[in-house]
Amino acid sequence: MKTTILCLLLLVGISATAQKEAATAPKATDKIEAYYFHNTRRCATCKAVEAVSQEALKTLDIQLKSLNIEEDANKSLAQKVGAAGQALILSNGTKSIDLTSKGFMYARSNPDKLKEAIQKAVKELQAQ
């Protein structure tokens, strides 16, 4: 009888722990970081890359971190994710995807194409 009660208590405890872990499990997009590194002086295209990227990422519940690469505080992070200059980079911690060229190519002329590229990159990073 004592063994049965003990087993039941253990099962209830394990079940409660599993439910708590499931409720606090991070979303797939929580592990994806989005960075836009820029210079102090910015042109219209630079600002458009940031605005379009921010809009696309907002729909995916990912926050874009806009960082001035000329500031010493941001240089180590830029180096960590592989940004040597102005850059739009998505990273899941183990892999980074550089969308800089697409950002500058499409942000003003075809923003929807940049948004599609961002969504594709997020899906690729989530799959890993």
DSSP 58-126: HTTT--EEEEETTSHHHHHHHHHHT-SSSEEEEE-SS-EEE-HHHHHHHTTT-HHHHHHHHHHHHHHHH
**In the chain, % of residues over pLDDT 90:** 65
Is 17 contained in some domain? no
- What CATH number does the domain containing 103 carry? 3.40.30.10
Based on the structure, what is the number of domains in the chain? 1
Report if residue 23 sits inside a domain: no
Query: Could you read off the pLDDT of 17-65 as tens digits, one per residue?
Result: 444 444 444 444 558 999 999 999 999 999 999 999 999 999 999 999 9
**2 or 41, higher pLDDT:** 41
Q: Report how far residue 76's alpha carbon sits from residue 82's, in angstroms, rounded to the nearest whole number.
A: 10
Q: In what order do the strands lie in the sheet with 87-91?
A: 64-68, 33-38, 87-91, 96-98
Residue 42 lies in a domain: yes
Q: Provide the 3-class DSSP secondary structure of residue 42.
A: coil
In a domain, 12, yes or no: no
What is the model's pTM?
0.74
Identify whether 119 is part of a domain.
yes
| Residue 13 located in a structural domain | no
Question: Which has more pLDDT, 124 or 9?
Answer: 124
Report if residue 6 sits inside a domain.
no
What is the bridge-based pairing of β-strands 96-98 and 64-68? unpaired
Domain housing 37? 28-126
Give 45 or 12, the one with higher predicted confidence. Answer: 45
CA distance linking residue 99 with residue 102, whole number of Å = 5
Cβ neighbours around 73 below 10 Å, total: 8
Residue 4 lies in a domain: no
